Structure 1
Amino acid sequence: MMRTLVVNSTLIDCVSPDPRPGTTIVIEGQRISHVGPDSGFSAGPDDQVIDLKGAYLLPGLWDVHVHPDYHSLADMPLAEQVTLFGHRLQTALMDSGIVGFRCAGAHDYIDVAWRRSFEAGQFTGPRLFASGYFLTTTGGHFLTSGHARECDGPYGFVKAIREGIKNGIDHVKLNLSGGILGPSWDLHTQSFLLDDEIKAAFDICKLRGFKVMAHATNPQAVKAAILLGAHSIEHGYIMDDECIELLLKHDVWLVPTLAISHLTPGQAKNKWESLWTQQRGMAHALCCRAEAASDTHTNWFAKAVKAGVKMALGSDIRPLKDAALLEMGLWTRNGATPWQTLVAATRHGAAICGVGDELGTVEAGKIADLIVVGANPLDDINNVRQLQMVIKDGQVVSDKRPVGQP
């Protein structure tokens, strides 16, 4: 088997926070077979050698809270939406180095369809973990997105979950509460499910062995989800000290999605954020809602970081090639170090999706999903934008190194 030697790299393996210059990575097939100093390994006559000239090698990035673009079937036929989602996913891999996504709601199971296509090798794309529809109540959260399914009563939720399982989902996305961006009756301060509805939903997930990705935006919803066995809490815009204690006690993930409350024109702090907010053109009333929620969101995010809550990086915005990069910038501005942010976007991204033993760090035996960037992201997390190369399953799928560099 031909080997690929990636030499003269500065390795950030996302196990240790200390970069390791002069490192060689050996890839055989899909996997990393060796990690060590350049001086300790020499290339054979049949080996492919990639000289990084000191550039930074690290695990590929993950975004563990995403949706396809928001279009109703009246706006865009389903076939076009499926095609657009696939294009967005492939572009995110090739242009931004995002090797894994966890979906938080997609109508008509288009996330399942693309996961199967990527896994079958029909197209080159990121790893995708599918939820199908996100489940809410009649008059629930984000009905205009096209990705919500309205359920009512215990058996309404049970039936929807069973249908999702039948259609090939990986996890269940359950909305316990409202959101920041929506109509006047869709409020993140309010919880939506009755006790018997939420219990039935969690009961069937436990029986069938499916993890619950719980949209929970206020203390009541966060606590209910944790105590019923949620795998992850999404958003956590408003929490209290008991929420933090329960997250730690029950070892539950938190995915804070800072972009939802922080990316408005009035809060943009750099050129990337300014350009994104201009292009998004969010209505003034929604900007006001986001800005009114941002300080509280920041407070509980920072407290969770300080307390050592398990956290993974998810954006909840589009386009997918920009979303994780913007979210990483927000993490470092709101209480996380570049190291904590990078771990959340690599090792923890793989772990929350249940594949931490195979992916998320640069170690011998793991699958070679890797990126190369031109400057140290531990100095400035935005250096992940200096993407030079993407390796997926041991194969170079994108090479953007400067012209003249072999």
Structure 2
Amino acid sequence: MQKPIVIKCGTLIDGEADKPSHDVSILVEDGRIAAVEAGAALDGLSDAETIDASGAVVMPGMMDIHLHLASPNVSTRQDVDVARFSRSASSMLMETVRHAQLMLEAGFTLVRDFDWPTPQGSFHEAIVSMREAFDSGLLPGPRLVVGGLTHITASHFDLGMPRSAQRAPGITADGPWEIRRQVRTNIRNGVDVLKTCISGGLGTFGEENVWSRNITPEELSALVDEAHAFGKPVAAHCHTPDSVRVAVEAGVDTIEHCVYIDDDAIARVVDAGKPVIPTLAFRQRKIIERRRRRGAPPDVVAQMERLLDETSRTFQRYHAAGARIAMGTDTNVEPGFGENALELEVYVNLGMTPMEAIMTATRNAAEAIGRADELGSIRRGKLADLIVVRGNPLDDIAILSDTRNIRVVMKGGKVLVDRREQTRAAA
């Protein structure tokens, strides 16, 4: 049986309260939060290991609930623009495992992955195997929520590959019954959530189909009905006001991206209580400049520049209207895995308080994926997923973007990352 752990917190951001508390101790037993007490109430537990975070901030582990772990990424290779078509499946798997571990090392104890289709087919079965390896302790890694793509021919996901690229059989589905079959196949393969595309998209191979319809109402109704019949949620890529309206009407569970919007679509999202996942980090100025210097296609860079102001305004409109915002970055080629807390800096720069931004990556994210009963806050009975942070992100949210400031990462009561000074000194 795992030895109890007492964490002595200088400052606690618990994921629920609007303000931090100070001089608090947390008792972790059997992978869960057993107690949260003020002062020295837990000092008498002689059989417990102590983590002294009295000079640090303790907060729930962060969550990024929209990314693509299997994408070629600058954190593990430089030839990202050709790697999608040159990597072997085994290389892709090794990189994907490392990407997930980089997320854990950066303080992300849960990520929701949305596959990365290639000419060889989808990759979600490998991600499901990773999820099982991480859950069993075979490999260190964050909790994984695995998404399976369910999309039509010539959707944004399909056009994300060049026209000349070969498509694996079954990678797309057309018509309500093909859609239902693809949903069922994805579920049989072990996915946790189904993702589809309602509008077109931007950002790959000169694609400019953002205003196109990417699924019929009959197909979307079949998708949502089939997924919900199996108890699985649906996430929808929505770049336009009409696609957002269609998503809400169809009963989609989360709205992915902040691109084009209008007041009516915002009102429908807020009235329905649908979480919005903004995915702004990869379109920020410094990321655009990195891609330009790296030699990314000029049309892709130009698209990103055109959307920067639009996506920022859309986020601000959602926030002002009181939408439920949960953090997601859409990390694929850039930024590097582990830089994901840059998304929180963007939120603060666009008007959120640091506490609101932190909530998007903790409590709000857990609620958006239906895991708030066990994750997202440091409360008695919940899973002990938490991080110890050097510095105070309420004073400077950018602290969370520097992995060196993430001193301890605990998942399920086990310390999986430990950068405390005494640990290094003893090594």
Q: Is TM more than 0.5 here?
A: yes
Distance 1:47 1:275, change over 3 A: farther
Q: Secondary structure at the match of 1:49?
A: strand
Report if the CA contact (8 A) 1:172-1:210 is conserved.
Answer: yes
Instruction: Provide Cα deviations, 1:70-89, integer angstroms capped at 9, x if missing partner.
Output: 36775112122122111110
State the shift of 1:207 in Å: 2.8
Deviation at 1:66, TM superposition (A): 0.9
Most deviating of 151-160 and 390-399:
151-160
SS of the residue corresponding to residue 137 of structure 1 reads: coil
Asked if residue 190 in structure 1 is aligned to residue 212 in structure 2, the reply is yes
Matched AA of 2:133: S
Q: Does 1:328 align with 2:344?
A: yes
Please give the per-residue CA displacement for 1:133-189, whole angstroms capped at 9, x wherever unaligned.
x23322221434699932222222122111101111111001111112024454223
Give the aligned residue type for 1:339.
Answer: M
Worse-matched range after superposition: 192-201 or 304-313: 192-201
* 8 Å Cα contact 1:57-1:370 kept in structure 2: yes
Secondary structure of the 2:347 match is: helix
Q: For each residue in 1:336-373, what CA deviation from the matched residue of structure 2 results, as whole angstroms up to 9, or x when unmatched?
A: 22111100011112222211111111111111111011
Instruction: Report the alpha carbon displacement of residue 91 of structure 1 after superposing the two structures with TM.
Output: 2.1
Aligned pairs (5 A) from 1:320-399: 321-384=337-400, 385=402, 386-399=405-418
What does the per-residue CA deviation read over 1:214-269, in whole Å, with 9 as the maximum and x for residues that have no partner? 01110111100111000000013111111111111111111011124x33xxx22x
Which residue of structure 2 aligns with residue 13 of structure 1? 14
- Shift in alpha-carbon separation, 1:54–1:277, aligned structure 2, 3 A: farther
- Look up the SS of the partner of 2:415 in the other structure: strand
Per-residue CA distance 1:81-107 (angstroms, 9 max, x = gap): 12211111012102x010001112242
Q: State the match for 1:243 in structure 2.
A: 265
- Out of 123-132 and 70-79, give the one that drifted further: 70-79
| Aligned residues with identical type, % of pairs | 29
Match of 1:120 in 2: 136
Partners of 2:201 and 2:302 in 1: how far apart? 13
Task: Supply the distance in 1 between the matched residues of 2:114 and 2:336 (Cα, whole angstroms).
Answer: 13
Residue 246 of structure 1 aligns to which amino acid in structure 2?
Answer: R
Corresponding position: 1:217 with 2:239: yes
Q: In structure 2, how many angstroms separate the alpha carbons of the residues matched to 1:97 and 1:276?
A: 24
Residues 111-120 or 306-315, more deviating: 111-120
Show the counterpart of 1:141. Answer: 156
Change (3 A) 1:209 1:41: closer
**2:195 aligned residue:** 173
The SS at the match of 1:348 is helix
Q: d(CA) in 2 for partners of 1:337 and 1:282?
A: 34
Which moved further from structure 2: 379-388 or 339-348?
379-388
Shift in CA distance, 274/193, structure 1 to aligned 2, threshold 3 Å: closer
- Quote the residue 1:315 is aligned against: 329
Q: Which amino acid aligns with 1:306?
A: A
Q: Distance in 1 between matches of 2:132 and 2:103?
A: 18
Cα distance change on mapping 1:281 and 1:338 into 2, 3 Å:
farther
Q: Evaluate the alpha carbon distance shift between residue 401 and residue 278 of structure 1 in structure 2; reply closer, same or farther with a 3 A threshold.
A: farther
Query: Larger deviation: 69-78 or 21-30?
Result: 69-78
- CA gap 1:335/1:357 in 2 versus in 1, 3 angstroms: same
Aligned equivalent of 2:80: none
Residue 206 of structure 1 and its aligned partner are, at CA, apart by 3.1
Which sections of structure 1, spanning at least 5 residues, go unmatched? none
Superposition TM-score, scaled by structure 1 size: 0.91
**Alignment partner of 1:21: what SS?**
strand
- Cα contact 1:347–1:356 (8 A) shared by 2: yes
Specify which of 389, 400, 403 is matched with residue 419 of structure 2. Answer: 400
Residues 231 and 252 in structure 1, CA contact (< 8 A), matched pair in contact too: yes
- Residue from 225, 229, 232 that aligns with 2:251: 229
Are residue 23 (structure 1) and residue 45 (structure 2) matched? no
Name the count of aligned residue pairs: 396
- Cα 1:281–1:92, aligned 2, differ >3 Å: closer, same or farther? farther
How far off its partner does 1:121 sit? 2.2
Q: Which amino acid aligns with 2:310?
A: T
Q: Does the 8 A contact of 1:22 with 1:54 survive in 2? A: no
Q: Which residue of 2 aligns with 1:151?
A: 173
Structure 2's unaligned 5+ residue stretches are: 73-82, 117-121, 162-166
Report the aligned-residue RMSD: 2.3
Question: Could you tell me how far 1:203 is from its partner in structure 2?
Answer: 2.6
